[in-house]
Structure 1
Amino acid sequence: MEYFSLNNIGLFRFSIFPQSDLFHFSSSIKGGVSTGAYSSLNLGLYSGDNPEHVKENRERIANVAGVPVENLYIPCQTHDDKTFIVDEQFLNLNDEEKEKKLYGIDALITDRKNICIGVTTADCVPVLIYDPHKEVLAAIHAGWKGTVARIAEKTVIRMTEHFGSNPKDLLAGIAPCISQERFEVGEEVVETFQEAGFQIEDIGYRNTETGKMHLNLQQANKLILNDAGIPAQNIEIANLCTYSNPQLFFSARRQTIHSGRMVTGGILK
Structure 2
Amino acid sequence: MDEKERDMEKHVSRTIWVTHKNGISLEAGRKMNEMGFCHGVTGRGGGVSKAPYDSLNVALHVGDDPKAVLENRRRLCQVIGCSLPDITMAKQTHEDHIVAVGAAERGCGAGSYATALDHTDVLMTDEKYTPLLICVADCVPIILYDFHRPACAVIHAGWRGTAARIAAKTVFAMTVAYGSRPEELFAFIGPSISAAHFEVSRSTADIFKKSGAMYASCVYDGEGARTVDLWKVNQLQLKEAGLREEHIAMTRFCVFSHADKFFSYRRDGGITGRMAAFAMLS
CA distance in structure 2 between the aligned counterparts of 1:196 and 1:83, rounded to whole angstroms: 22
Alignment correspondent of 1:267 = 280
Letter in 1 for 2:240: D
Match of 1:90 among 68, 88, 105: 105
User: SS in structure 1 opposite 2:94?
Assistant: coil
TM-score (norm 1): 0.93
- Indicate the percent of aligned positions where both proteins have the same amino acid: 35
CA distance in structure 2 between the aligned counterparts of 1:247 and 1:241, rounded to whole angstroms: 11
Match of 2:79 among 64, 77, 85: 64
CA distance in structure 2 between the aligned counterparts of 1:249 and 1:92, rounded to whole angstroms: 26
Per-residue deviation at 1:197?
4.8
CA distance in structure 2 between the aligned counterparts of 1:115 and 1:138, rounded to whole angstroms: 11
After superposition, the Cα gap between the structure-2 partners of 1:92 and 1:5, relative to the gap in structure 1 and judged at 3 Å, is closer
CA distance in structure 2 between the aligned counterparts of 1:155 and 1:251, rounded to whole angstroms: 25
CA distance in structure 1 between the aligned counterparts of 2:39 and 2:262, rounded to whole angstroms: 17
Q: Contact between 1:173 and 1:235, CA under 8 Å: does it hold in 2?
A: yes
String of CA shifts for 1:214-261, please: whole Å, max 9, x gaps: 100000000110111101111010131000000100000000221110
Report whether the alignment pairs 1:108 with 2:123: yes
Match of 1:38 among 29, 53, 68: 53
User: SS in structure 1 opposite 2:135?
Assistant: strand
Alignment correspondent of 2:151 = 136
Alignment correspondent of 1:47 = 62
Report whether the alignment pairs 1:2 with 2:22: no
Alignment correspondent of 2:227 = 214
After superposition, the Cα gap between the structure-2 partners of 1:163 and 1:27, relative to the gap in structure 1 and judged at 3 Å, is same
- CA RMSD, Structure 1 to Structure 2 (Å): 2.1
Letter in 1 for 2:197: R
Q: Contact between 1:243 and 1:254, CA under 8 Å: does it hold in 2?
A: yes
Per-residue deviation at 1:93?
8.5
Alignment correspondent of 1:163 = 178
TM-score (norm 2): 0.89
CA distance in structure 1 between the aligned counterparts of 2:236 and 2:58, rounded to whole angstroms: 29
Q: Contact between 1:63 and 1:69, CA under 8 Å: does it hold in 2?
A: no
Per-residue deviation at 1:88?
2.8
After superposition, the Cα gap between the structure-2 partners of 1:94 and 1:179, relative to the gap in structure 1 and judged at 3 Å, is closer
Q: Contact between 1:190 and 1:200, CA under 8 Å: does it hold in 2?
A: no
Structure 1 unaligned runs (5+)? none
Per-residue deviation at 1:52?
1.4
CA distance in structure 1 between the aligned counterparts of 2:266 and 2:46, rounded to whole angstroms: 22
After superposition, the Cα gap between the structure-2 partners of 1:200 and 1:211, relative to the gap in structure 1 and judged at 3 Å, is farther
Alignment correspondent of 2:219 = 204
Report whether the alignment pairs 1:78 with 2:127: no
Q: Contact between 1:16 and 1:173, CA under 8 Å: does it hold in 2?
A: no
Q: Contact between 1:128 and 1:174, CA under 8 Å: does it hold in 2?
A: yes
Match of 2:133 among 118, 127, 149: 118
User: SS in structure 2 opposite 1:123?
Assistant: coil
